[in-house]
Amino acid sequence: MKIIPFSISAFVCILLVLVFGTKLILPAPLAVLLSPQHGVWQNAEPADVNYSMDLSFPQLKSKSEVYFDDRLVPHVFAENDEDAFFIQGYLHAKFRLWQMEFQTHAAAGRLSEIMGDKIGSLDVLNKVDRYFRRLGMGYSAEKSLRVIEADSSTRMMCDAYAAGVNAWIQSLTRSQLPLEYKLLGYQPEAWSNLKTALFIKYMAFDLAGGESDFEFTAAKNALSKIDFEALVPIRPDSLDPIVPKGTVFDAPGVVVKAPASADSLYLNFMKDTGATFPVLPMKPDKENGSNNWAVNGKKTRSGYPILCNDPHLGLNLPSLWYEMQIRTPHYNAYGATFPSAPGVIIGFNDSCAFGVTNAGRDVRDYYAIQFRDASRTSYLYNGSWRQTEFRIEHIKIKGKPEFTDTVAYTVFGPVIFDDTYANRSNDGKSYAVRWKAHDPSNEVKMFYQLDRAKNYNDYLEAIKNLHTPGQNCAFAAKNGDIAIWCQGEFPAKWKRQGDFVMPGTDSSYKWQGMIPQSENPHMLNPERNFISSANQFPADTTYPYYLGGSFPNYRGWIINKRLYQMADITPQDMMDLQTNNYNVFAEMARPVLIKNMNEAAFNADEKKYWDIFKEWNLRSDTGETAPVVFSVLWDFLEKEVWTDDLGRIKTTAVPYPSSLLEGILRDSAFKFLDNINTPQKETLPDVLAAAFKKAVPVIKKAEADGKASWAKFKDTHISHLTKLPALSRMHLPIGGGTHIINATKADHGPSWRMVVSLTPETEAYGVYPGGQNGNPGSAYYDSFIDTWANGKYYQLWIMKKGDVADKRVKFKMMFSN
């Protein structure tokens, strides 16, 4: 042996192995990523992949078949419920495992465990994990899990589902792991029912977590009562509520009374103590909402009802939704499902169709807590010191020691902000959070019952299980019924209760009861022959409870206007309505803007863009320039009007989007137009001219950059959950926007579009911006996005037992035990 050359070459070899195998450059070593038999090459699925296979699991009770069509939508034929849910779990995991784990890790405040405490500039530990834990996400999931598991049907559903997910996980070898595990350098863990409960709480966060109580409190301190009411009115003018104006409501079953101290301690405007308030590290998108409607047989060409729903949520890859059909001897359901939970969520069966929009009610309030001392072991409540309960959160951090957060729990709920966590307040206050999601509930039961509902009564029994997040549940049946319930378990509040932070040193500001379920606004077979909701107020001011919350009103207004006019409706008409880009907000604003714009003072650019705006057909279509002009102008107009009055409050929650529009429509001498920092009194023409002067250079630059057409300006994109552009779909050619039925913003919009005609042979259409396979290396990763962007739909194939030999069947999975 030649020692020296041997040593050198051996040393070099080992050095290479170490360099290629180091985690110092990327979370996963380069060689592990690129090794063809282990790494990401293994995720590069052949374009002609064949999913047909025979599978056998001892957990299954009998045989089942799954037929995939060419869109990779599985049609599951099972002999019993357990097997159906096992297979659903298996398929969800097979195609979307990483997404399921990532979502539920986030909900549990466990992102630091897999991603480290910081990613770039994002402080994962403090802004995500500690926040979610302090908000009580894990705590509330555990409470709900007990209820879910106490019910035999939902226990069965979740157990079978989890068993299916775990069957898939156990079959995985390291080289078969999804791409993201390899890139991020970790492995999946076992699935549990708790994760399903956590996912539901995550949806509750997204949908029932949109309050702005701290911001409103800051605004209350800085504004007079009259000014606050003008900016945050209890009802906007142009409201067409879900349940029409004039509906008579029963006398309230729970009579609430504001505490005696409310006027002095709570509704005390313009205190302006200079107090600052905590800022929530993360808020759900304020447009989290949706459209739904149903028209009955008197309005349709077929004589049978049509139900439509498009939920508006953050647009991500993999998509929140997974399309599938589940057929058992008891029911046949088709629709959008949630990877992480069993059941069909928005869809239809052989008797009826169902869909939801967000209720948007404020079910999360804050109470100012007075601890006795820095130990936080007791707090003042009803005149004595009450003992705190502590919950210790152990937050594991990748590559670092564990972080321990000791959270104080009070009679209201967890103390989310105090000296030990992110308290920006300068008067040492601590805040407990009372969130309806903390109350145990079993939403899984709703999915169970809805999927097999045969009529209105079944639907009503099913939705009674929905406590949080409250949803406006639309229903249509083949027997002709249409209905909507603004369903949830909502606190019965006195006027403005919960809009601001409340005193927490006694019980007088607690929620005094829950609104009885039967008193939720609802409609069954109304005279106007349609029901609809688009997140607007459920009812007008005659409703005997205070409706705090966030309620955009424009989509509901335009949807109802159209539905009143329409007749002889076909499914295509409904698809056209869902993808409609008409901008009713611009329609309302344009006349008053034109009236108050001094065109004589225009330069060439200003004239050019103003003419485009004047001649606009009011549709925010992909190629139009006018929506760009209007959008930029309106943004500058809002800044021009509000900055002087509200700049010091630093919040976008105040005022409502409708406040400025309605202010200038009602009265062109709208008080806030004046810039309080200048000696002269500005008028609408002044402010408008100033805003337009600032807007035009921005529009001009957009034009120079080739972005002066609406789709390019808006730049809609569907991002991978890690936000990596390489795994995302960018620059999508789609129009629409806020206040428009086609509510597609930059990264938020219709995450599922569905139109169901309840004819004897159901005729249904659907599409979502994603694909059935969550693997970025698969052809099925983003296969629906172009169809969705173009406003097109797929006809949903409701497969029957006899269709086994149909040429639409592309793959077949046979399950047995």
Side-chain-side CA neighbours of 480 within 13 Å: the count stands at 7
CA–CA distances in Å: residue 798 to residues 41, 77, 80, 551: 36, 12, 19, 36
Q: Determine contact, residues 329/80, Cβ cutoff 8 Å.
A: yes
Instruction: Give the strands of the sheet with 811-816, arranged side by side.
Output: 53-56, 811-816, 64-68, 74-77, 322-327, 332-337, 346-348, 352-358, 471-477, 482-487, 522-524
Alpha helices in 596-683 (DSSP H): 604-615, 626-646, 657-666
Cα 642 to chain centroid, rounded: 28
**Smaller CB distance to other proteins: residue 698 or 779?**
779
* Distance separating alpha carbons of residues 642 and 657, to the nearest angstrom: 12
User: Contacting other proteins (CB under 8 A), which of 22, 24, 27, 38?
Assistant: 38
Residue 300 DSSP label: B
CA 242, 246, 248, 249 dihedral sign is positive
Least Å distance, CB 178 to other proteins, is 12
Residue from the set 23, 24, 27, 36 that interacts with other proteins by CB under 8 A = 36
> Closest by alpha carbon to 581, among 364, 408, 789?
789
Q: 47 to 76, contacts with other proteins by CB under 8 A?
A: 47-48
Stretch that binds other proteins, among 10-18, 304-312, 512-520, 792-800 (CB under 8 A): 10-18
Return the closest-CA partner of residue 94 out of 176, 28, 180. 176
Window contacting other proteins (CB under 8 A); options: 37-45, 65-73, 225-233, 425-433:
37-45
Question: Closer CB to other proteins, residue 36 or residue 516?
Answer: 36
| DSSP conformational letter for 465 | T
Count of CA atoms in the C-beta half-sphere (13 A) of 209: 21
Q: 10 Å Cβ neighbour count for 50?
A: 9
Within 685-724, the residues that bind other proteins by CB under 8 A are: 724
Binding to other proteins by residue 659, rule CB under 8 A? no
Contact with other proteins (CB under 8 A) among 140, 427, 711, 726: 726
Residue 45 sits in the site that holds other proteins (CB under 8 A): yes
Nearer to other proteins, 10 or 265 (CB): 10
Q: Which stretch binds other proteins (CB under 8 A): 481-489, 602-610, 774-782, 797-805?
A: 774-782
Residue number with CB closer to other proteins (26 or 804) = 26
Q: Minimum CB separation from other proteins for residue 217, in Å?
A: 44
Give the CA distances from residue 351 to residues 305, 456, 458, 481, 761, in Å, rounded to whole numbers and listed in that order. 11, 10, 11, 11, 10
> Among 35, 238, 268, 759, which residue interacts with other proteins (rule: CB under 8 A)?
35
CB 632 within 8 A of CB 699: yes
Closest approach of other proteins to the CB of residue 156, in Å: 39
Closest CB 181 distance from other proteins, rounded Å: 15
Minimum separation from the CB atom of position 87 to other proteins (A):
27
3 state SS for 35-71: CCCCCHHHHCCCCCCCCCEEEECCCCCCCEEEEECCC
730 lies in the binding site for other proteins (CB under 8 A): no
Mask for 15-34, x = binds other proteins (CB under 8 A): -xx--xx----x---xxxxx
Going residue by residue from 166 to 195, which x/- string records binding to other proteins, judged by CB under 8 A? -------------x---x------------
The least distance separating other proteins from the CB of residue 113, rounded to whole angstroms, comes to: 23
Q: How far is the CB of 183 from other proteins (least distance, A)?
A: 8
How many CB atoms sit inside 10 A of residue 430's CB?
A: 24
Rule CB under 8 A: say whether 6 interacts with other proteins: yes
Minimum Å gap between C-beta 722 and other proteins is 10
Interaction of residue 776 with other proteins, rule CB under 8 A: yes
Strand partners for 530: 295
Nearer to other proteins, 21 or 591 (CB): 21
SS3 253: coil
Secondary structure class of 620 (helix, strand, coil): coil
Is there binding between residue 807 and other proteins (CB under 8 A)? no
- Residue ranges of E strands in 12-167: 53-56, 64-68, 74-77, 118-119, 122-123
Number of residues binding to other proteins, judged by CB under 8 A: 43
Shortest separation between residue 37's beta carbon and other proteins, angstroms = 4
Verify binding: residue 43, other proteins, rule CB under 8 A.
yes
Does 777 sit near other proteins (CB under 8 A)? yes
Residue 360 contacts other proteins per CB under 8 A: no
Locus of tokens 């390019």: 712
Which of 779, 787, 792, 811 touches other proteins (CB under 8 A)?
Answer: 779
**Using CB under 8 A, which of 27, 44, 570, 683 touches other proteins?**
44
Residue 675 or 778 with smaller CB distance to other proteins: 778
Minimal distance, residue 190 CB to other proteins, in Å: 24
CA distance 241 to 552: 11
Footprint of other proteins (CB under 8 A): 1-2, 5-6, 9-10, 12-13, 16-17, 20-21, 26, 30-48, 179, 183, 724-727, 776-779, 781
